[in-house]
Structure formats: structure tokens, C-alpha cells
A = this chain, B = another copy of it.
Amino acid sequence: MKFKITIEYCTLCQWTPRAVWMTQELLYTFHQQVSEVSLIPTDGGVFKISVNDQLVWDRKESGFPEPKAVKQKIRDVVEPDRSLGHSDR
């Protein structure tokens, strides 16, 4: 069962490059498991990452993530038994 990742980000904050970078990181790690990675431009200082509409990262709670932390969160939701190799160390 493939899953969808969604990244909502604030364009006024100039976070487009950051959101796009995260997209590429997640596509490289999960391209075989993901149906779609979706970028949603918004405002209000939002930077949120969700998997199948389940929020896994919110900048307002946890600050900006390293890709490694997001990959672990996503893995924990969608395939908890998978090792992420060096992203788990």
C-alpha cells in the first residue's frame, strides 16, 4: 500500500527552496513506497509534513527538521520494521 507525503510551507517566509530540498530527500529515500509527494504553498509561517494526512512534523512545535528526523518519523508510520541505513545511526 503506497502512501502520500504532503509538505505545506509558507511562501512569504521564502521557504520554497527548503520545501523542495526536503521533497528531493524524501523521494530518494521512499520512491518505491510513495505514490506521491505533494507541495502545498501557503502562508502564516507554516512548515508541516504529513503522511496520508497524519501530521509527522510541525515547525511550530519542533523547529525545522533535518531530513533524517523526518525520514525516521515517516518510516515509523508506514513501515516500522524498515532500517533506514545511515539515517538510523
Contacts and interface: CB of A to CB of B under 8 A. Distances in A.
Contact of A40 (B11, B36, B39): B36
A39 B16 contact: no
A87 interface: no
A20 B31 CA distance: 13
Nearest to A30: B41
Q: Identify whether the interface residues of A are mostly helix, strand, loop, or mixed.
A: mixed
A68 to B, nearest CB: 18
B27 A31 contact: no
A53 to B, nearest CB: 13
Contact of A39 (B32, B37, B41): B37
Nearest to A6: B36
